[in-house]
Structure 1
């Protein structure tokens, strides 16, 4: 018996593409997942190195990331084993910084702002004036409904705050969430992230502000589980399958089976592999890769009428995004050294040139007694470091030796994700999801409430499939 379920091709095997493929499978659709590289996971993945598997970057989740946590649950990932739960904290090696008290986890969701308020009032190294100013600003943002002028920057939201409050609290949080210096970062997006961390839904037993730190590498956390789940349900998974061309063709199935009679089907040309014919396509590739495919599609004589201008606008938005690198410098402390802080993540005093890392993460060895590894994150490094990975690693090495009072710490590896994130600036016009009745886009760059985060990527993949669900329903035709 022929399976007449819609066939959906998902182009891109990062977190957005994996989320879209899983959601499509859940609807009973046939799925082909195509990834150009040899690995799954996109910009949040495991990479091989001479010292064993490493992450290409340090990603954390929070309890409010309900879409990502829901996806992991669907895949059968045991959250309590895969993620280490710690209260929100911005602690520094010298004992300074802000920590949300553990007792606030039991508060009902509307009262979680009390936890952050308690953390600010108890911030170590701050004067009472500084604590009061931080709490007053938090209350002001809440009374304003967590909204601000659309073109306001995070720095403008902080005008009047004591410098130490900005440096110890706002700046590291904003850099961690938006990956953009506060002088250029969107105040509106910053307030949205802060709101969700305090008031957003979170699955039990998590509080929305909880930090959830992966215990294993990122490949183990999602890509391995997702590809295994998809394979068990009959999805076709192809790596080293770079899509070089999209072509609209006549519908592959009749409208009586599903979908709209006018909706085109698609032929995907794959480099070094068989082409794919599908009823619908999810473009879950990076912005520049999706733009390349759409540019060629818009110039194709077979382009569906009326869509060329729409795709051209989408391409211009995608190519206008300004991308920035994130570097991770892996260090090895001397044998026998032990991490002595209560949480596995510390903020670091930052200077763009002398002390470029903003955070350090402690990773225990895979076996008891194994040596520690330190992952030091340089988010959106100063342009002066471009092409100077060895010099950057040396600067981070000096910074961490001093900050952690380490007599020695050797550089193990430096991993630079060149286009890890886009600059989340005020009024940023991001490309949208629906490109056509059976063509949709996904990725953390696609229009949505979040910046370039794991949650943003997962949400975009789920939203793209929701849009296709409507497109594959009889009678649906998006208006131009």
Structure 2
């Protein structure tokens, strides 16, 4: 490795934190810039009703190898920080759903046993699921030409009930894009690395702590301990070349003017495009369409619990049922006893109701689905919507690479070219790859 370089990482979301840790591990002096006062980007902690919660409920997978490796690097005990559950798609009794839980057996036996034991599915449903899985494996989870998830499911004769109870909620949860306009190839990639891999890869991992504490804050501590610096509440407004180095224009007038040997832009795509405007890499980042995600928190009296840490819900716009998954936060963190988090992916229509009406509709849905009438009256509720939560993961979507025409300036983020949709794992993988590109540049 050549002499240590000064590197600026712009954006302390999960991609930026991953890049910063990788660069600091290589011996570089990293300065991590974050415009917010809180680290984590679109997966961070917020204060609600005196509690530190997340700006959205997240779920990770055992297949998230880069994220789990990063947690080890920064000293986080994943087995303590995450609740590991076997792959499951479980609906409460009031949803006319299914109950599918994979046992802790070697793959693919765990899927076969789960399918045989599953309740709420007919023989035709089970045959359709087995046929899809077998064919996808035979095809090595690859399509010659990308198409929509809906087209893929129709091609392999998936039943209406199986689509409603399994494929549609999985697609929306993984890609945050409706099946009729979601990429079948990206969906297959997710299934390949979870359902089609070793059993542990299909496990579902629920954070026991807030997302900022889980990774970004620990990553910042790691960087700071290795001759790095963290600047929060400091917006990078411009990035300009200066004698083979980079100068950053900062919103914080008191910040010392520095020149950096390399830059990682790990901001949302729109911000990154703005920072690259006027440079040779101006056209590197395309315009994306975006999808919102809404999380509704509902606080009930202590002792109000679900029979499992989370359940799937059947959403139905005509009935005013917007929730797709409900999480019992008290089973993850004892200080959040009685707190439920309900996720509404692709929530454009739902948020048009307004926060008060939406939270009331979700409370009614929970009361009916869980057969608990008392859930219609929470002690308080809070709706949080990220209108640009993810890009719309359409078939054949062209996404930029980490590498730009500027050899010592790279980008990172969940929108960068990847096998995955906009997930925490794709953000971390991108951050690691961006850092590796800079390391290679300095080694040359």
Superposed displacement of residue 200, structure 1: 4.6
Partners of 2:331 and 2:300 lie apart in 1 by 12
Q: 2:180 is matched with which residue: 180, 183, 203?
A: 183
Partner of residue 378, structure 1: 344
Matched, 1:428 2:421: no
SS in 2 for 1:364: helix
Superposed displacement of residue 367, structure 1: 7.7
SS in 2 for 1:156: helix
Partner of residue 310, structure 2: 345
Partners of 1:191 and 1:337 lie apart in 2 by 37
Mean CA deviation greater in 140-149 or 373-382? 140-149
Partner of residue 297, structure 2: 330
Partners of 2:218 and 2:80 lie apart in 1 by 14
Partners of 1:96 and 1:23 lie apart in 2 by 44
Contact 2:413/2:430 (CA < 8 Å) preserved in 1? yes
Superposed displacement of residue 166, structure 1: 0.5
Deviations 1:47-70 (A, max 9, x none): 012241111111111111110000
Q: 1:133 is matched with which residue: 128, 137, 153?
A: 128
SS in 2 for 1:68: helix
Q: 1:278 is matched with which residue: 260, 274, 280?
A: 260
User: How does the TM-score come out when normalised to structure 1?
Assistant: 0.86
Superposed displacement of residue 189, structure 1: 0.3
Classify 1:402/1:384 alpha carbon distance in 2 versus 1 (closer, same or farther; 3 Å).
Answer: closer
Matched, 1:312 2:282: yes
SS in 1 for 2:191: helix
Q: What residue ranges of structure 1 are gaps of 5+ in the alignment?
A: 251-263, 299-307, 475-480
Mean CA deviation greater in 376-385 or 128-137? 376-385
Partners of 1:336 and 1:98 lie apart in 2 by 25
Partner of residue 477, structure 1: none
Contact 1:98/1:120 (CA < 8 Å) preserved in 2? no
1:80-479 matches, within 5 Å, as 80-94=79-93, 96-104=97-105, 107=106, 112-159=107-154, 160-200=157-197, 207-250=200-243, 264-273=244-253, 274=255, 275-295=257-277, 297-298=278-279, 308=280, 311-315=281-285, 317=286, 319=287, 321-341=288-308, 344-352=309-317, 354-364=320-330, 371-383=337-349, 385-386=351-352, 388-409=354-375, 410=378, 411-435=380-404, 436-474=406-444
SS in 1 for 2:298: strand
Superposed displacement of residue 248, structure 1: 0.7
Cα RMSD, aligned residues only: 2.0
Classify 1:227/1:286 alpha carbon distance in 2 versus 1 (closer, same or farther; 3 Å).
Answer: same
Classify 1:387/1:23 alpha carbon distance in 2 versus 1 (closer, same or farther; 3 Å).
Answer: farther
User: How does the TM-score come out when normalised to structure 2?
Assistant: 0.93
Contact 2:59/2:206 (CA < 8 Å) preserved in 1? yes
Q: What residue ranges of structure 2 are gaps of 5+ in the alignment?
A: none
Contact 1:328/1:375 (CA < 8 Å) preserved in 2? yes
Contact 1:98/1:169 (CA < 8 Å) preserved in 2? no
Superposed displacement of residue 407, structure 1: 2.1
Deviations 1:125-154 (A, max 9, x none): 111121111111111111111112433111
Partners of 1:98 and 1:195 lie apart in 2 by 22
Partner of residue 305, structure 1: none
